[in-house]
Structure 1
Amino acid sequence: MDNITMEIMKPKALAMILLSVVGSATLLGCSQTDKDAETLASKQEAIQEPDYQASRNTGAWGAVYMTREELRDPEMNIVDLSSLPDSIANDPSLTEWEAKFEGTNAFVTTDGKKLYHDSCAGCHMHEGEGAFGAGYYPPLANNSKMQSKSYVIDILINGFRGMPAFHGMMNNEQIAAVTQYVHSELNDFTDTVTAEDVAELRHANPPSSATDPTQ
């Protein structure tokens, strides 16, 4: 290649080099931003890495896969075994239960008023005024039907429609005491109700469900 040819190519080569530099600078300029400017990449970097352990602990199904040690800590766990009593006997919630049932899981008192408030007042109210809402709970106070002690005893033994039977929950003395309270305290009837009155109406087999004794 002679000198004339080289001299002609020099401007072309220089032009190509300049175009390459300018193009590179342009491309770099498009991608470069101020270091403090918010970009998509910076947003992604700012997203906190998820704590999968915490998510598992607080999830409804998390406890299924957790050991007892994991359940104890941290505080966010659904069930904290350390807060549970060592045995049911040490459960403080039993205090109210024992006060109601006098230390046992069955009725032991023969106090008609206490038996009524523990077993009947929840539906028929504490003054025997009855209630109407999700269901109908007839008033026992000022109710002429309560004059028949046999009627009250029969309902207590066998149940009545939605009312449970107390055949296996109370003995004769207890049913007599409740009947006397309803008969005389919630109403003004004066008959005496005895355990013998209950024994006459009590049958050997408890009802399978609360039924209407008038049928």
Structure 2
Amino acid sequence: MQGLKTTERFSGATQAGWQAYNITPDRTSGIGNWSDDALIAYLSTGIAAGHASAAGPMADVVQHSTQYLTHEDLRSIVAYLRALPPVSGGVTRPRDAWGKPAANDITALRGTTITTVNGLQLFVANCASCHHWTGGGVGGSAPGAYPSLIHNSVAGAPSPDNLAMVILHGVRRQTKDSDVLMPAFGDALSNEQVAAISNYATTQFGDLRATLTAGEVAALRAQPQ
């Protein structure tokens, strides 16, 4: 009957193909291991270094709403979130605890003829110029930096849906600190290619169990935005 599960309040949901993550104070599946400053930074700029960068509907929330809150209001939101009952959701490792830099993957492409859809090749061709071939990002924690995929809550999520949605639709987030733009690759890449990039990124930088098929990408692509 569309009723809310009160025992899972603030533990996440899916909207238009995007996963809204758990924001209860559980230290594994929620934001319990984020500092107050990190939470405030995320709400005011869309970036919490070492944790997450806002995309999709959350980028709109930051751009049109939370960046304009006073510091006192932001601290009040953080205090409220800290007081919520934690919900584990069965997650055993924080989303931002996954990943390590790619080591010698790129050298494997030298002199190699690629005849199939190859996630590494597609990552190097479409993603590495901004996120670096190691996945470490460019620009560190600067407001306009290209985020690291290592210790990134999207790459390390149990579901790869948000990663695929970012590849398909890109990111646009304007705040007083920066104008963040990641182009959408939905028109340039097939469902099979998006799945290959996503699977390479989750295997190398995130939860290697989070894999996608081309059919699942097609279903995400069909979600109205």
The verdict on a shared fold, with TM-score over 0.5 as the criterion, is no
- Measured against the shorter chain, the TM-score band is 0.3 to 0.5
Structure with higher strand content: 2
Greater radius of gyration (CA): 1
